[in-house]
C-alpha cells in the first residue's frame, strides 16, 4: 500500500510541475499580439537612432535585390562557422535563370580559428583559388572582366557600404583578436592578392540577407527572410525614407534591406520563466539574445533538460537518484528532442532509446515517456508561437497585415531557412497555424511562409550580380 502511495505521490508532484509549466509557457493569441506590437515599436525605435533599441536594425546597404535579369558568372563565399562553402553560379537572365552551379565545402582547421587574421584569410583565399582553378565547361566570364564575389559573413559586423564592414566580435568558437575592428572585405581582398587571385568582393552580407536575395530571385513577392536554426534572425525590405537614422543619399530604388538582429529582442510581454532566467544567467552571453533563447534550436532541448532535472529533483521522476547526465548543460540537443517528439510508435520506443543513450535513464514506463512528449509539446509550441508573433510584428510594421494596401491586393512571401524550421515538423506546423490564427483566415491566404533551402549561398552570388561593378556598363 505504501509503495503505491509513494508512486502516486511522485506522479502527483510530476504532474504538478508539468501543469505549472503549461501555465507559465502559455501563449494565448492576446499575449502574442502584445509581443508583435512590442516588436513593431522596437523596430521603429531601432530605425530612428543608433542604440535606440535592443533591436540593432542594421542598414545592410543592399538597395537592389535580384530581379531575375542577372547575367554572367558570379562566385559566393559563405563563412559562418567551422566550415565554409565556395560556390559559382552561371546566370542566364530571365530565360536561362541559374544555368549551372557548383560548390565545395571546406573545414577550417581548429588552430586557424584562434590564430591570426593573416593565417585564416590566407587559408580561405587559397581554397577559393583552388576552386576557381576547377572552373570548367558551362561557366564563362565575359571578356576583359574581373570575377566578382558575394561574401556571406555571419558574424556581427558594422557595415559601412555594400562591400565593406568591420568585425564587431567573433562568435561560434572563433577568437582572432587582430581581426576585430578590421574591415573583413579588405582582409579577404589582401589575401586574394597574395594568392594572385584577381577577384573583387562586390557584396558583403549575412545569411539572413542572402536568404532574402535567394528567395526574391525566384519569387518577386518575397519581402521578409527569417532564419530559424541554431540561432534566429530576420531581415526585410524597408522604405528608405522610413529610416530616420539613415543620413546618406536615398538609393535610386527607394528601398533598403534591414538586418534586424531580432534575436536580441526583449519585452516585458515575453513569457519568461525561472527556467529561461536560469539558462540565461548561466549562458555565455547573459542578458543578450533573449528572444533567440526562447525560439531557436540552440536552446529548446536545453529548456526541456532543465524541466526534466527539476522533475527528477522534486518528484523523483526517474527513481530515487537524479541521473548524473541530466545535470550536464546542453546534453539534450534539439534534434534529439525533435526525434522524441515525432515518435509515433505504440510504445514510444525512440523516446526510450534517447533517454537511455543520452541521459543514461533506463526502464522508463510508457506513462513516463508520454509525459516527456507532453513537455516537448509545451516547449516547442511556445517557441514556434513566439516566432510567429515576431513575424506578425514585422508584417505589421510593413503594412502587410492586411489584404489591400494602396488600393491593391497584395501577396507577401516570407522566405524561411534553418534546420529547426526544415526538420522539426511539429515546430513548423505550429508556426504556420499560429500565423493563420494571428492574421485571420482572409489575410493568411495572402501571406505565404516558404522554405528557402540554403538560399543564403546562392543569395550571396545573386547579390554580387545585382551590385556588380559592370551594371552601369550593361545598362547603358
Among 55-69, 156-170, 189-203, 452-466, the range of highest mean pLDDT: 189-203
Task: Tell me which range, 6-15, 198-207, 445-454, is most confidently predicted by mean pLDDT.
Answer: 198-207
Q: Quick one: average pLDDT of 366-387?
A: 97
Q: Exposed/middle/buried for 393, CB within 10 Å: 0-12, 13-18, 19+?
A: buried
CA–CA distance, 466 with 472 (Å, rounded to integer): 11
Burial class (CB in 10 A: 0-12, 13-18, 19+), 95: exposed
Give catalytic residues, as residue numbers: 172, 207
Burial grade of 150 (CB within 10 A; 0-12, 13-18, 19 or more): buried
Mean pLDDT of 118-123: 95
User: b vs e for 19-54, b when ≥16 Cβ sit within 10 Å of the residue's Cβ?
Assistant: eebeeebebeeebbbebbbbbbebbeebbeeeebbb
Q: Are 82 and 172 in contact (CB under 8 A)?
A: yes
Q: Which of 210, 215, 190, 212 is nearest to 201 (CA)?
A: 190
Q: Which is more confident, 433 or 135?
A: 433
State residue 453's pLDDT score: 73
Mean pLDDT for all residues in the chain: 91
Rg of the chain (C-alpha set): 24
C-alpha cell at 307: 524541466
Q: Residue 243 — pLDDT band, cuts 50, 70, 90?
A: very high
Which residues pair with residue 73 across a beta bridge?
Answer: 90
Q: Which of 341, 344, 348 is nearest to 297 (CA)?
A: 341
Task: Determine phi and psi for 185, rounding to 5 degrees.
Answer: -70, -40
Maximum average pLDDT range among 159-173, 346-360, 448-462: 346-360
- In three-state secondary structure terms, 437 is helix
Joined together, the cell numbers standing for residue 213 give 536575395
| Residues 320-359: tens digit of each pLDDT | 999 999 999 999 999 999 999 999 999 999 999 999 999 9
Q: 27-37 pLDDT, tens per residue?
A: 999 999 999 99
Cα–Cα distance list, 33 to 268, 389, 421 (Å): 13, 7, 22
Query: Using 50, 70 and 90 to split pLDDT, how confident is the model at 376?
Result: very high
pLDDT band at 237 (very low <50, low <70, confident <90, very high): very high
Question: Where are any strands of DSSP class E within 301-434?
Answer: 404-405, 408-409, 412-417
CA pair distance 75, 71, nearest whole angstrom: 13
Q: What is the mean pLDDT of residues 164-193?
A: 91
Which of the four pLDDT bands, split at 50, 70 and 90, describes residue 455?
A: low
SS3 label, residue 270: coil
Distance CA 240, CA 258 (A): 10
- The CA–CA distances, whole Å, from 42 to 37, 247, 348 equal 9, 20, 43
* Cβ(462)–Cβ(214) below 8 Å: yes
Amino acid at each position: 500500500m505504501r509503495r503505491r502511495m509513494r508512486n502516486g505521490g511522485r506522479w502527483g508532484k510530476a504532474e504538478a510541475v508539468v501543469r505549472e509549466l503549461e501555465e507559465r509557457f502559455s501563449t494565448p493569441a492576446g499575449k502574442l499580439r502584445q509581443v508583435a506590437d512590442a516588436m513593431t515599436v522596437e523596430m521603429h525605435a531601432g530605425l530612428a537612432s543608433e542604440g535606440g533599441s535592443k533591436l540593432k536594425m542594421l542598414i545592410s546597404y543592399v538597395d537592389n535585390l535580384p530581379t531575375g535579369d542577372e547575367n554572367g558568372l558570379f562566385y559566393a563565399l559563405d563563412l559562418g562557422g567551422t566550415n565554409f562553402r565556395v560556390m559559382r553560379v552561371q546566370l542566364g537572365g530571365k530565360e536561362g535563370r541559374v544555368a549551372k552551379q557548383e560548390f565545395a565545402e571546406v573545414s577550417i582547421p581548429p588552430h586557424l580559428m584562434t590564430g591570426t587574421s593573416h593565417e585564416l584569410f590566407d587559408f580561405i583565399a587559397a581554397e577559393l583559388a583552388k576552386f576557381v582553378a576547377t572552373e570548367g565547361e558551362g561557366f564563362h566570364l565575359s571578356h576583359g572582366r574581373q570575377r566578382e564575389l558575394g561574401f556571406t559573413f555571419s558574424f556581427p559586423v558594422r557595415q559601412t557600404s555594400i562591400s565593406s564592414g568591420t568585425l564587431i566580435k567573433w562568435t561560434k568558437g572563433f577568437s582572432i583578436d587582430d581581426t576585430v575592428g578590421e574591415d573583413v572585405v579588405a582582409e579577404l581582398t589582401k589575401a586574394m592578392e597574395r594568392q594572385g587571385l584577381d577577384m573583387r568582393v562586390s557584396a558583403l552580407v549575412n545569411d539572413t540577407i542572402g536568404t532574402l536575395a535567394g528567395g526574391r530571385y525566384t519569387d518577386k513577392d518575397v519581402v521578409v527572410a527569417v532564419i530559424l536554426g541554431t540561432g534566429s534572425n530576420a531581415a526585410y525590405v524597408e522604405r528608405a525614407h522610413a529610416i530616420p537614422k539613415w543620413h546618406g543619399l536615398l538609393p535610386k530604388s527607394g528601398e533598403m534591406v534591414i538586418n534586424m538582429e531580432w534575436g536580441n529582442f526583449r519585452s516585458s510581454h515575453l513569457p519568461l520563466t525561472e527556467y529561461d532566467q536560469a539558462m540565461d544567467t548561466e549562458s555565455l552571453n547573459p542578458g543578450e539574445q533573449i528572444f533567440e533563447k526562447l525560439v531557436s534550436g540552440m536552446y529548446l532541448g536545453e529548456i526541456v533538460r532543465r524541466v526534466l532535472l527539476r522533475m527528477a529533483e522534486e518528484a523523483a521522476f526517474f527513481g530515487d537518484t537524479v541521473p548524473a547526465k541530466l545535470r550536464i548543460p546542453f546534453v539534450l540537443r534539439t534534434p534529439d528532442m525533435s526525434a522524441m517528439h515525432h515518435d509515433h510508435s505504440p510504445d514510444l520506443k525512440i523516446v526510450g532509446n534517447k533517454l537511455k543513450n543520452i541521459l543514461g535513464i533506463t526502464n522508463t514506463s510508457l506513462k513516463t515517456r508520454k509525459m516527456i512528449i507532453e513537455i516537448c509539446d509545451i516547449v516547442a509550441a511556445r517557441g514556434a508561437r513566439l516566432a510567429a508573433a515576431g513575424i506578425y510584428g514585422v508584417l505589421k510594421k510593413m503594412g502587410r497585415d492586411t489584404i489591400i494596401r494602396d488600393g491593391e491586393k497584395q501577396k507577401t512571401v516570407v522566405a524561411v531557412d534553418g534546420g529547426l524550421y526544415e526538420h522539426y515538423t511539429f515546430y513548423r506546423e505550429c508556426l504556420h497555424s499560429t500565423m493563420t490564427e494571428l492574421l485571420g483566415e482572409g489575410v493568411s491566404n495572402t501571406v505565404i511562409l516558404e522554405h528557402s533551402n540554403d538560399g543564403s549561398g546562392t543569395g550571396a552570388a545573386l547579390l554580387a550580380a545585382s551590385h556588380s561593378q559592370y551594371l552601369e556598363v550593361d545598362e547603358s
